[in-house]
C-alpha cells in the first residue's frame, strides 16, 4: 500500500487570525511581531499577511527592516493565547480524519492518512474535506501537500499558497522533485547549499545525479541529502513530534545591564510561560534561560528539575538562578528568554505526596487565572514582574 502523508500548513497563521477577528484588516499588509517604533524597533517579524509579503516582508526579518519596506503596514503584537486556542481547534479537526498526527509547530503538522483515507473517499478527497473542516471550525485557510514521503508533502504544501492543495504520487515523485531548487530540501543548511552550488549542483535533480566525488567533504550528510533527492525518505509520522517546549522572549529597546530591569523581565517571562503551560494542561521538567548579549552573541543555560512544574514562582526562581550563574563579561543584554521543555500532562502524578507549598501555589495560580479570565491578562501581575512584556 502506498503511503499517503499530508502536510498541513496554515496560511499566514497569526496574521490570518487577526484579519479574521478584525474585518477592517482584510486586504491590508499585517505584520505580527515587535513594535517597529517608527523603524527603530529591535525585535523581529513573527509572521505577516500575504499583502505584506508583496513588499518583501518575511518571518524572522528584523522589525526595523520590515518598517523600511512597508511603513504603511499594520503592526500588531502577537496574541499567543489566541493563536494557541485556534491551534487546538485545528488539531481537533485533524483527529476527525486520522489518529496518526505529528504536530511540527503551532501552525503545521504531518498526518498519515494511509489507513483512514478510504473512509473519506480516498486520499485527495480526505485532504479536501480536512481543509473544509479547518475552515468551518476556525474561519482560516490552510495549504496541504499530499505525497508518499514527509519531504515531498512538506514541499508540496508550499507550492500553491494560500489555500492550496498539491498531490504527488509515488510514480511521479522523482519527476516532481527534480526541477526544484536545492533550497527546498528540508534540513539543508545555507553553508552546505553554498558548497553544492559551487560544484554546480543547484537543483534537487542535479543532487540526485551527483557522484560520490561531488559530495566529498560533506561527511555522512552528503549521502543522506542525495537519498532525499532521490525520493528516499522513510521517516514516519510520529506523535512525539508534538510541541516539545513552551517559551517566551523579550528584546529590550536598548541593550541593558540594569539588574532590576533584568530581574523584573525574567519574572514576567516566567509568568507568561507558566500561564501558557497551564492553559495547555502541561508542566515541564527542564528550564532553559536564553541570553543574547550586545553584538548578537547568544548563550543558553538549562537546569532539569526533580519534579515537573508549571508554577510561575518556581520558573522565575530557576531562571534567576541560571542568570546569576551566567558570566556576561560586563556586556549588556539585548534579549532574554525563558523556555520549559520535558513536557508532560499537568495532571500526571510524579510523587505520592503533595507538597504543602505546591497546594498553596495551585490555589494562588487558580485565583490569578480567575481574575485574568474575568478582567483580562493585564488585570493582575505577580510581584517583581515587569508589566510591559
Q: Which of left, alpha, beta for 206 (phi over 0: left; psi -120 to 50: alpha)? A: alpha
Q: For residue 109, what are the β-bridge partners?
A: 8, 103
- List Cα–Cα distances, 315 to 279, 292, 362, 384, in angstroms: 16, 19, 14, 13
Cell of 191: 553553508
For residue 108, indicate whether it is catalytic.
Answer: yes
Cell of 18: 487577526
Q: What letter would DSSP give residue 368?
A: H
Q: Is the pLDDT of residue 181 over 90?
A: yes
- What DSSP line would sit under 364-380, residue for residue? HHHHHHHHHHHH-GGG-
298 confidence band (pLDDT: 50, 70, 90): confident
DSSP, collapsed to helix, strand or coil, labels residue 172 as helix
Q: Is the pLDDT of residue 383 over 80?
A: no
Contact assessment for residue 32 and residue 47, using Cβ atoms and an 8 Å cutoff: yes
Contact assessment for residue 155 and residue 145, using Cβ atoms and an 8 Å cutoff: yes
Contact assessment for residue 346 and residue 297, using Cβ atoms and an 8 Å cutoff: no
Is the pTM higher than 0.75? The answer reads no
Distance, in Å, from the CA atom of 113 to the CA atom of 3, rounded to the nearest integer, reads 8
pLDDT at position 386, please? 59
Tell me the pLDDT of the chain averaged across its residues. 88
Q: Is the pLDDT of residue 382 over 60?
A: no
253 confidence band (pLDDT: 50, 70, 90): confident
Q: Is the pLDDT of residue 133 over 70?
A: yes
Catalytic pick among 108, 136, 171, 232: 108
End-to-end CA distance of the chain: 51
Number of C-beta neighbours around residue 227 at 10 A: 14
Stretch 353-361: mean pLDDT, rounded?
Answer: 57
Q: Is the pLDDT of residue 5 over 90?
A: yes
Cell of 269: 517571562
Q: Find the range with the poorest average confidence among 229-238, 327-336, 342-351.
A: 342-351
Q: Is the pLDDT of residue 384 over 70?
A: no
pLDDT at position 245, please? 83
pLDDT at position 379, please? 45
pLDDT at position 352, please? 43
Stretch 252-260: mean pLDDT, rounded?
Answer: 93
Contact assessment for residue 348 and residue 296, using Cβ atoms and an 8 Å cutoff: no
Residue range 258-269, pLDDT digits in tens: 999 999 999 999
Q: Find the range with the poorest average confidence among 10-19, 20-29, 188-197, 225-234.
A: 188-197
14-80 folds as MutS, DNA mismatch repair protein, domain I (3.40.1170)
Q: Percent of the chain beyond pLDDT 70?
A: 88
CATH of range 244-379; options 3.30.1490.100, 3.40.50.1240, 3.40.50.720, 3.30.530.20: 3.30.1490.100
Domain residue spans of the chain: 1-8+92-243, 14-80, 244-379
Residue range 39-62, pLDDT digits in tens: 888 888 999 999 999 999 999 899
Distance, in Å, from the CA atom of 342 to the CA atom of 133, rounded to the nearest integer, reads 32
Contact assessment for residue 224 and residue 208, using Cβ atoms and an 8 Å cutoff: no
Cβ partners under 8 Å of residue 175, min gap 6: none
CATH number for the region 1-8+92-243 comes to 3.30.70.270
pLDDT at position 2, please? 87
Cell of 361: 501555589
Amino acid at each position: 500500500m502506498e503511503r499517503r502523508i499530508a502536510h498541513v500548513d496554515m496560511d499566514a497563521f497569526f496574521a490570518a487570525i487577526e484579519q479574521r477577528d478584525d474585518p477592517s484588516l482584510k486586504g491590508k499588509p499585517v505584520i505580527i511581531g515587535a513594535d517597529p517604533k517608527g523603524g527603530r524597533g529591535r525585535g523581529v517579524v513573527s509572521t505577516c499577511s500575504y499583502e505584506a509579503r508583496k513588499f518583501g516582508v518575511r518571518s524572522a526579518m528584523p522589525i526595523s527592516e520590515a518598517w523600511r519596506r512597508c511603513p504603511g503596514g499594520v503592526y500588531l503584537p502577537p496574541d499567543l493565547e489566541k493563536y494557541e486556542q485556534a491551534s487546538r481547534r485545528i488539531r481537533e479537526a485533524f483527529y476527525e480524519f486520522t489518529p496518526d498526527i505529528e504536530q511540527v509547530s503551532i501552525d503545521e503538522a504531518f498526518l498519515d492518512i494511509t489507513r483512514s483515507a478510504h473512509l473519506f473517499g480516498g486520499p485527495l478527497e480526505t485532504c479536501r474535506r480536512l481543509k473544509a473542516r479547518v475552515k468551518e471550525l476556525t474561519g482560516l485557510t490552510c495549504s496541504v501537500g499530499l505525497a508518499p514521503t514527509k519531504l515531498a508533502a512538506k514541499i508540496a504544501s508550499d507550492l500553491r499558497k494560500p489555500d492550496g492543495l498539491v498531490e504527488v504520487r509515488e510514480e511521479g515523485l522523482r519527476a516532481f522533485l527534480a526541477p526544484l531548487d536545492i533550497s527546498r530540501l528540508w534540513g539543508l543548511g545555507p553553508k552546505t547549499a553554498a558548497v553544492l552550488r559551487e560544484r554546480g549542483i543547484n537543483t534537487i535533480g542535479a543532487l540526485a545525479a551527483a557522484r560520490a566525488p561531488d559530495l566529498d567533504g560533506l561527511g555522512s550528510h552528503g549521502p543522506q541529502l542525495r537519498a532525499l533527492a532521490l525520493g528516499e525518505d522513510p521517516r514516519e509520522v510520529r506523535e512525539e513530534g508534538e510541541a516539545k517546549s513552551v517559551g517566551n522572549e523579550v528584546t529590550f529597546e536598548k541593550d541593558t545591564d540594569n539588574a532590576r530591569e533584568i530581574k523584573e523581565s525574567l519574572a514576567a517571562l516566567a509568568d507568561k510561560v507558566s500561564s501558557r503551560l497551564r492553559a495547555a494542561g502541561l508542566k515541564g521538567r527542564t528550564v532553559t534561560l536564553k541570553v543574547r548579549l550586545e553584538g548578537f552573541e547568544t548563550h543558553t543555560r538549562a537546569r532539569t528539575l526533580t519534579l515537573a512544574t508549571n508554577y510561575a514562582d518556581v520558573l522565575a526562581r530557576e531562571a534567576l538562578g541560571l542568570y546569576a550563574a551566567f558570566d556576561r563579561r560586563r556586556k549588556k543584554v539585548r534579549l532574554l528568554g525563558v523556555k520549559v521543555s520535558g513536557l508532560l500532562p499537568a495532571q500526571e502524578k510524579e510523587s505520592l505526596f503533595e507538597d504543602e507549598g505546591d497546594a498553596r501555589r495551585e490555589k494562588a495560580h487558580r485565583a490569578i487565572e480567575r481574575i485574568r479570565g474575568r478582567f483580562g491578562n493585564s488585570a493582575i501581575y505577580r510581584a517583581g514582574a515587569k508589566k510591559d512584556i
